Structure 1
Amino acid sequence: MTNNTINEGKTYAFVAYLTLIGTLIAFFMNQEKRNEFTSFHIRQSLGLWLMYMILGYVVGGFDSWMVTMSFWIFFSVLFIFGIIGAITGKYNEVPILGSFFQNIFKNIGQ
């Protein structure tokens, strides 16, 4: 991977983490000129957003501030980790779930 490829993909890699709509925007913008760095972060962010929604639905059923705050802190840390990786130009997999997301969404960006 060249530095030029990483520099070209940083913007869309960052956008992918902002919202689920940002992930979709980055995905479609990456279709024209495929960038491996952007595709890596799109897979990470898509996995995070989907997991966030699924677990958020389950956590919403609990009536406990402790569970809710733990959920928010956990996902905030994962998103911040991904954003920092996108901005600094690194292929940092999200802890715990990153390799799982890369395997499940391996067809994205190919």
Structure 2
Amino acid sequence: MSDDNKNLSDDLDDMIGDAKESAKRAGEKISQKASELADDAKELGKEAKEKASEFASEAKEKASEFADEAKEILSDGKNIGIISHVYWIGWIIAVIMNNSNKTELGSFYIRQNLGLFLLSFFALIPFLGWVLGIAIIIAWIMSLISSLSGEKKPTFLLGNQFQEWFKGL
């Protein structure tokens, strides 16, 4: 082999060696960077998990507070009295609510409205019933206003008798 070819071959071998060495260093740098990025991702994952856990804990606490407040509001006798004024369906809901936590005010308005609802059947009688119907509507409105203010006022139409007749409620 000639000296030129030999020098060229040696130069080529050096270049290939340098290229291999550079490729090896680049691979090591890439591997190191990938490892650093993986560690960063793990750290971010831990932080995200902690934040999600904190958020879930706060949400659970807020939901529990809301449920407690809702129970307190719905078990209030004033609210039961108001709900009982919403014709039959409201009256039934009020009875169910009052059964779980009886209140004097709630029971009072449940009895008042039952009496007014039953008395309203007499409003179907022509002429005299119409006048009675207007009186029942006025008594119902007065009862609703009293329940909104949280006062126990019997209606002018047999209100005290309703309390006696339906005292089992």
Q: TM-score, normalised by structure 1?
A: 0.78
Partner AA of 2:123 in structure 1 = G
Partner of residue 104, structure 1: 165
Partner of residue 138, structure 2: 77
CA distance in 2 between counterparts of 1:39 and 1:78 reads: 18
Percent identity over the alignment is 29
Partner of residue 3, structure 1: none
CA distance in 2 between counterparts of 1:31 and 1:50 reads: 21
Higher helix share: 2
User: RMSD across aligned C-alpha pairs, in angstroms?
Assistant: 1.7
Q: TM-score, normalised by structure 2?
A: 0.52
Counterpart selection for 2:108 from 35, 40, 62: 40
Secondary structure of 1:44's aligned partner: helix
Partner of residue 147, structure 2: 86
Q: Does 1:19 align with 2:87?
A: yes
Aligned residues: 95
CA distance in 2 between counterparts of 1:34 and 1:49 reads: 21
Partner AA of 2:80 in structure 1 = Y
| Residue 96 of structure 1: how far off its partner (Å) | 3.3
What does residue range 28-67 of structure 1 map to in structure 2 within 5 Å?
28-53=96-121, 55-57=122-124, 59=125, 62=126, 64=127, 67=128
Secondary structure of 2:148's aligned partner: helix
Q: Deviations over 1:16-66 (max 9, x none)?
A: 11202211110011111111110000000011101112x033x1xx2x4xx
Gaps of at least 5 residues in structure 2 are 1-74
